[in-house]
Structures are given as structure tokens and as C-alpha cells.
Amino acid sequence: MSLTFMLPALILLGLILFALGEALYFLSKDHGDKDKTRVVQALSVRVTLALILFVLLILAGFFGFIQPSGLTP
């Protein structure tokens, strides 16, 4: 895969992991009578970023930036 697509893909993956980690942190903090929506908000961000990454990867395949690799001995 070319660097043009690999770099944004890795950055997006990093942001997805950050949003997921943030949701886990809020999951451990928000409880009892605190009616907070921080967990679901962080998870919504996670889903949106994942969909953007998927579209980016599909585009990379469509425009030929991802080449199938052959098998060698």
C-alpha cells in the first residue's frame, strides 16, 4: 500500500483506539447517579472514524493504491 494511503489509515486507526480507550475510561468513572453520556459519545466517535477509515480503504483499492501480493518461494 502506498504511503499516501497508509499514513492517513494509521492516523485514523490511532484516533479510533484513542476514542475506544476514552470510552473505557469513562466506563470506569461514570456510575451511580451520574446520568452522563460520555461513554456512548466516545463510542459514536469511534464508529464514525471506523466508517471513514473503511471508505478510505475501499477508495485505495478502487484507485489501485493497494496491489495484491503474489506468492514466492
Please give the helix or strand (H or E) that residue 32 lies within, else none: none
- Is 15 a binding residue for other proteins by CB under 8 A? The answer is no
Q: Binding-site residue total for other proteins (CB under 8 A)? A: 36
Question: 48 in helix, strand or coil?
Answer: helix
The minimum distance between CB 4 and other proteins, in angstroms, equals 14
Asked if 31 contacts 54 with a C-beta cutoff of 8 angstroms, the reply is: no
| Residue 62: all three cell numbers together | 478502487
- Interface with other proteins by CB under 8 A: which residues? 1, 6, 9, 13, 16-17, 20, 23-24, 27-28, 31-33, 35, 37, 39-40, 43-44, 46-47, 50-51, 53-54, 57-58, 61, 66, 68-73
